[in-house]
Amino acid sequence: MVTPHPQGPGTLHRPVTADEHRQAMRHLATGVAVLTTRHDGLPHAMTLNTVLSVSTRPPTLLVSLGTQSRTHGILHSAACYTVNILASDQRHLAERFAAKRPMGMSQFDGVPWEPSPITGNPVLPDGLLAIDCRIGRRIPIADHTLFIGDVLGVTPARTGAAPLVFACGDYEPEGR
């Protein structure tokens, strides 16, 4: 038999701080992806690990971006996005697109990519796969926006490779 908390659910001695929450979430291992989109004819990208399959019927994918991120405004005005799932040997791409660089083509200098046949967004050909989505809903919550996308297509790029994983503030070693 479960005994309810004597002070009721949600009653704490003090609220959880942002830092405590961040430290707790570090222990949740996540895959790593590069989100791409286009704005004014230029490609844009950012590394993210907040990707969630919402539904398979219909196929729906959620990404979450902080409202202060450089890509937030671009994605907010976009019609679609592409999620490139990185392979374990692509840490350099995760770090590159997480770095504070000038937006636009300079982000892609020296990085091979092809336009998606569905959206025209950059697809990283050595990644595990790319998922093209049309943005169906934008939901503001706290200091983030949830972009819920209707999956338009999945492009497998490489088979047999392991995904890049991030946990405890670092990337998991390749092949682990």
pLDDT digits (tens, 9 = 90+) for 49-91: 889 999 999 999 999 999 998 899 999 999 999 999 999 999 9
Is 169 inside any structural domain? no
pLDDT digits (tens, 9 = 90+) for 136-171: 999 999 999 999 999 999 988 778 889 998 888 777
Is 150 inside any structural domain? yes
**What whole-number distance in Å separates Cα of residue 104 and Cα of residue 70?**
11
Q: What is the domain-level CATH number for residue 41?
A: 2.30.110.10
Is 6 inside any structural domain? no
What total of structural domains would you count in the chain?
1
Contact 20, 12 (CB under 8 A): no
DSSP state of 176: -
pTM (predicted TM-score): 0.85
Residue 134 phi/psi, 5-degree rounding, is -95, 130
